[in-house]
Structure 1
Amino acid sequence: MSSTKQDLLQARAPTLPSKTTPEQRYWRSYITPQLIKENHPITSIEFNPTTPNDFAIASATKIQVFSSKTRQVIKTFSRFKDVVYSGNYRYDGKLLVASDASGLVSIYDSYQPRNLLVSLTPSSHPTHVAKFHPTIGNQLITGSDDRMLRVYDISQTSNGPIIQFDNIDHEDYIRSVNFIPGDSNLIVTGCYDGNVRILDIRDPHRVVAKFDQENPVEDILAVSSNTLVSAGGPYVKIWDLNRMSQIHQLNNFNKSTTCLSNTHTNGLMVGSLDSTIKVFDYTSTNWQVQFGWKFGSGVLSCGVSPINQKHFVAGLTSGLISIRTKKTEPKVKQGIKNDVSGGYARMMKGRDYTGEEEDHIIESSKIITNKTNKSVNELMSSYKKYLGASGSIDDIKPNDLKQEISQCLKAKEICGMLELLGV
């Protein structure tokens, strides 16, 4: 009779646990995610540059400010008639500027949502970006769908923009504007015509440099004075501003990249419509991937707390806000802390004190000292001899003698303490 032959199981060596890098352990410390659902996509996330780094999130016709301590809404800016596209804090954190789909640009007191300070209408087209200058507090730059870039002095807005880049060849909508650190006069723009342009405020009629992204540019970020990053299409390009050429390209995404953010720890955070956010090390030559997250829908905005990197926030196309908080490290103990308070320790300090050399401890029927041991009878005979009495002292009992001696010792200690105090 024939029988079926059983398949032999392939022998496998035991697998070792995968090694984790310090960067992976760092990003995995962002735990306790808090999810908040809004009815519209999250178009902007902006952190206040000053302590305690509260963050403003734009969605639909409002901007909500979340507390960095409680992760709850503490302020709401809702005086908008159309979808809010951007929110940006001034470098001192006192002013908040917002732009919406009606073309309106509003400047608020960041601590008083009802206090509208300045209202501008640079264009009847949607204004997708409005940002304060990083070092000049009264300058504001706006970019609209009319393909115009404008610079305002917020202290005198009645005369219109102080600079208008009207002869620059933007061939499509302006989607992002940023400043290059180290030079307060240079501005970089990202446009839907697929080009990144560097402009000079001192000469608004000339393009300093122009880079080809080959896809509509969604966001731009200068990570240093000579390194520029642009996001557009399914990849991210890195440009060297000294050589005015491309030095690297990141091809780690399946769909269009939408947002860039500096992690403030030598990392570049990139969000994409493929529902992922990845962190790249921009100090390495090949811009190695450090970590990544996967979300339920496309990512439109992201950011990390600038000072202590306490929170990592992501905004999705579904209207979901994900707030992750870094796990706090336990405080290092300075020395060994006592289990009881200092007052209790002082109170119990002398409980085991056995006395000095001349101090006596009475036990049973003997008096014990460090020098001699005398019986009670010997001490009584000496006591009789000292008093010069013969009859009445015989009636003294050993217990009464012990009490008398104890009281004498206490009096001796008190006298010694008073002598030390100089009384």
Structure 2
Amino acid sequence: MEYEPNDYQKLQIRRYAPRSIRETAEGKYWRHFKTPIVSKQFGAVSHIDFCQQYPFDLAVTASTRVILYNGRAPNVVGRTISRFKDVAYSGCFRSDGRLVVAGGQDGIVQVFDANSRSVLRQFKAHKRPTRVARFGADKLHVLSGSDDVTARWWDVSSGTQVLRLDGHRDYVRAAAGSPNSPDVWATGAYDHCVKLWDLRAGNSAILGLDHGAPVEDVVFFPTGALAVTAGGNYLCVWDILGGGRLLKRLDNFQKTVTCIRLSPLAGPESAAAPRMLAGSLDGHVKIFELDSFRVTHASKYPAPVMSLGLSPDCRLLAVGLADGTLSVRKHARPKVVPGAPGLPKPERKYQRRLTAANYRYFIRGQSSRAAATDFRVLRQRQARLQPYDKLLRRFRYREALDAALATRQPQVVVSLLEELAARGGLVAALAGRNAEGLRPLLRHLVKYIGEPRYTKLLSNVGHRLLDTYAEVVGASPAVDRLLRALHNRIAEELGVMGQLAQLAGVLEPLLAASLAAGAGI
């Protein structure tokens, strides 16, 4: 009896998981940043800031200069602001991109016109170097932090100091404004503390956080409910609305973490997947997802990372190094959300109406997919059978196994052996073989019996084969050599398994002690 061609079901080749972990979509997204555009500066690149308005220009602070690069062509020589007597610090754009503020080694905070680069305001109350300066959300005020352990709130329109914030005991090196309120700011200093200020309440801090190491940077999350601080070789995530509770400590670096940035639109497929980027003196920039704060990607740079920036459309990734190198990488396919702040509105494309005068009218719908409620009529196609399928259809099990072995594909052989076992034809496929017919099967056992995905099935096949041909062992030297090779391979695998079992026994108490210490038992 034979199956009709339309009734026979082809042998389904078994699919196994890949041996190695494939690159994730997250890793592919960050690897799509092209070869970096490298620019050599006159000193260490201490700060990078992207403008929030299209085309997302970037301000690079290095040595005694603040250089403004065009976001569309970062490889072109930028406009240089060099109105500093000594080292410049923390060049930042205002939210509309029209003004730039920067501190200096002489303690003076200066406000510049981004186009003409002329000095518009100078604030001279600080007595020591001013390492941080930021525009307020109202565009009319500036917050500065200095090595004189104070932070000051300035009125840009009048050029006067509005408020002096005292409370730190060491250099103030970081500041960030809350997205929820233009009057709430956080400052970080080398006294290991982060202070939260409400400018409406005067110069008294409303909340204090102990980072445990000199604070290099502080950033609010987009919701304003959380904040992250960098200092030492770790990051701390704080619940601001929960009273400053420490949520997570991230020890993923070997040296001091110098900078943090949050990417509002970054993600492998969706703009709803923000990421946190952090750079360190160990030369690494690491990307964290914000659910469990797990590292999803890391990049290594040839020198310590001093600063980094990511454009609002996630098209440009800029990293500043301690040796004066500015590395700017452009994404091959940036993920841009239409209507995002600062982006130009997409042009509406004219769509031609389909009529009978157009050829596309007659082929419409051919590439459309069927809906879940549609009734599908499948076309009857004759299956193209492989040699082992044709032999299996005729119940010629021994020849079908030989044809599968001839493919030298272990998935095909394993699938056929499983099909023969289900049909009860495995004994018939193994029996009645001479030395010439045994050698391909033994070679396959020697090669693949050590693979964990095939071991169980091939071990049963090997036992059945030895039971069948035990009486004729020694009749063929070639078969005997393969049997000895099979014995040696099994002995080698058993030795490896014994070593792994010993190693697991050594690691088990160490892991148990580590888990107990982490749980505070």
Q: Taking structure 1 as the reference length, what is the TM-score of the superposition?
A: 0.71
Aligned pairs for 1:122-141 (under 5 A) are: 122-134=125-137, 136-141=138-143
Tell me the equivalent position of 1:65.
Answer: 68
Tell me the equivalent position of 1:36.
Answer: 39
Question: What code does the residue aligned with 1:207 have?
Answer: A
Alpha-carbon distance in 1 for matches of 2:213, 2:83 = 35
Report which of the two structures shows the higher radius of gyration computed on alpha carbons.
1
More strand by share: 1
1:182 deviates by 0.7
Tell me the equivalent position of 2:251.
Answer: 251
Alpha-carbon distance in 2 for matches of 1:77, 1:275 = 28
Matched, 1:164 2:164: yes
Alpha-carbon distance in 2 for matches of 1:140, 1:335 = 46
Alpha-carbon distance in 2 for matches of 1:169, 1:26 = 43
Tell me the equivalent position of 1:288.
Answer: 294
Alpha-carbon distance in 1 for matches of 2:326, 2:212 = 31
Tell me the equivalent position of 1:233.
Answer: 232
Aligned pairs for 1:114-193 (under 5 A) are: 115-134=118-137, 136-157=138-159, 160-165=160-165, 168-193=166-191
Matched, 1:88 2:86: no
Cα deviation code 1:175-229 (max 9, x no counterpart) = 0111111122211010100011111101223221111111000000001311000
Alpha-carbon distance in 1 for matches of 2:326, 2:87 = 17
Question: What code does the residue aligned with 2:246 have?
Answer: Q
Aligned to 1:39, the other structure's residue is in SS state coil
Q: Answer yes or no: is the 8 Å Cα contact 2:99–2:113 preserved in 1.
A: yes
Aligned to 2:26, the other structure's residue is in SS state helix
Aligned to 1:184, the other structure's residue is in SS state coil
Q: Answer yes or no: is the 8 Å Cα contact 2:164–2:203 preserved in 1.
A: no
Match for residue 278 of structure 2 among 245, 248, 270 = 270
Match for residue 299 of structure 1 among 305, 318, 321 = 305
Match for residue 201 of structure 2 among 196, 200, 203 = 203
Question: What code does the residue aligned with 1:267 have?
Answer: R
Question: What code does the residue aligned with 2:275 have?
Answer: G
Match for residue 78 of structure 2 among 61, 66, 74 = 74
Alpha-carbon distance in 2 for matches of 1:206, 1:120 = 22
Question: What code does the residue aligned with 2:35 have?
Answer: T
Q: Percent identity?
A: 30
Aligned pairs for 1:402-417 (under 5 A) are: none
Cα pair distance change 1:202/1:325, threshold 3 Å: same
1:16 deviates by 3.2
Question: What code does the residue aligned with 2:62 have?
Answer: S
Question: What code does the residue aligned with 1:133 have?
Answer: G
Question: What code does the residue aligned with 2:304 have?
Answer: G
Alpha-carbon distance in 1 for matches of 2:252, 2:133 = 30
Alpha-carbon distance in 2 for matches of 1:335, 1:295 = 46
Question: What code does the residue aligned with 2:277 have?
Answer: M
Q: Answer yes or no: is the 8 Å Cα contact 1:129–1:143 preserved in 2.
A: yes
Alpha-carbon distance in 1 for matches of 2:54, 2:36 = 22
**Which runs of no fewer than 5 residues in structure 2 stay unpaired?**
1-16, 267-273, 336-348, 353-521
1:46 deviates by 0.7
Aligned to 1:202, the other structure's residue is in SS state helix
Alpha-carbon distance in 1 for matches of 2:77, 2:58 = 10
1:336 deviates by 12
Alpha-carbon distance in 2 for matches of 1:23, 1:101 = 41
Q: Answer yes or no: is the 8 Å Cα contact 2:173–2:216 preserved in 1.
A: yes
Alpha-carbon distance in 2 for matches of 1:208, 1:105 = 26
Alpha-carbon distance in 2 for matches of 1:229, 1:34 = 29
Cα deviation code 1:101-127 (max 9, x no counterpart) = 1111111111112x2111221212100
Cα deviation code 1:287-342 (max 9, x no counterpart) = 11121100111101001111x21100000111111110000379xxx9999xxxxx
Q: Answer yes or no: is the 8 Å Cα contact 1:53–1:305 preserved in 2.
A: yes
**Which runs of no fewer than 5 residues in structure 1 stay unpaired?**
1-13, 338-423
Q: Answer yes or no: is the 8 Å Cα contact 1:185–1:201 preserved in 2.
A: yes
Matched, 1:194 2:229: no
Q: Answer yes or no: is the 8 Å Cα contact 1:84–1:101 preserved in 2.
A: yes
Cα deviation code 1:349-403 (max 9, x no counterpart) = xxxxxxxxxxxxxxxxxxxxxxxxxxxxxxxxxxxxxxxxxxxxxxxxxxxxxxx
Question: What code does the residue aligned with 1:139 have?
Answer: H
Q: Answer yes or no: is the 8 Å Cα contact 1:263–1:303 preserved in 2.
A: no
Aligned to 1:161, the other structure's residue is in SS state strand
Q: Answer yes or no: is the 8 Å Cα contact 2:215–2:232 preserved in 1.
A: yes
More helix by share: 2
Matched, 1:328 2:333: yes
Question: What code does the residue aligned with 1:96 have?
Answer: V
Aligned to 1:97, the other structure's residue is in SS state strand
Tell me the equivalent position of 2:220.
Answer: 222
Aligned to 1:73, the other structure's residue is in SS state coil
Q: Answer yes or no: is the 8 Å Cα contact 1:271–1:301 preserved in 2.
A: yes
Aligned to 1:25, the other structure's residue is in SS state helix
1:91 deviates by 1.1
Cα deviation code 1:62-84 (max 9, x no counterpart) = 11111222212231111111111
Q: Taking structure 2 as the reference length, what is the TM-score of the superposition?
A: 0.58
Q: Answer yes or no: is the 8 Å Cα contact 1:46–1:88 preserved in 2.
A: yes
Question: What code does the residue aligned with 2:331 have?
Answer: K
